[in-house]
Amino acid sequence: MDKPLETPAPNVYKIGGVIGDKKSSPSYTISGRHKQPMDERVKNPGPGSYNNVNPEAYKDHSPCYSMAARTQLPSDATKIPGPGVYFPEKVTIDYPPAHSFGIKHSPYSEHY
């Protein structure tokens, strides 16, 4: 085992060409596209780009109670007629009933 180390370093190796020792002509390869497609599906927002919407702004509120004292008595300054004054049979509606499904507060809907 007294043999000197004659192994060359990793950067000393000279590897010849794989096929022969002559210079090769330009070579071509077939590879996939790298251009990103601008499809309509790509323009849609991702799951993390939506803003959080406060549901309290769009749903009916339940009654709110407090223990604070009132500063004044409730009064009716609007002069609303009583229940016996209304005549539902005389009501005319100029437009058909409108029904919808979905969210109306989305920034991606038509009427935001």
DSSP 19: S
pLDDT tens by residue, 32-89: 766 666 666 667 777 777 778 777 777 777 777 777 777 777 677 777 777 888 787 8
**pLDDT value for 107:** 67
How much is the average pLDDT of 17-33?
A: 68
How much is the average pLDDT of 87-111?
A: 71
- Rounded CA-CA distance 112/110 in Å is 6
**pLDDT value for 12:** 80
- Rounded CA-CA distance 76/37 in Å is 63
| CA neighbor of 105 nearest in space, from 41, 47, 48, 55 | 55
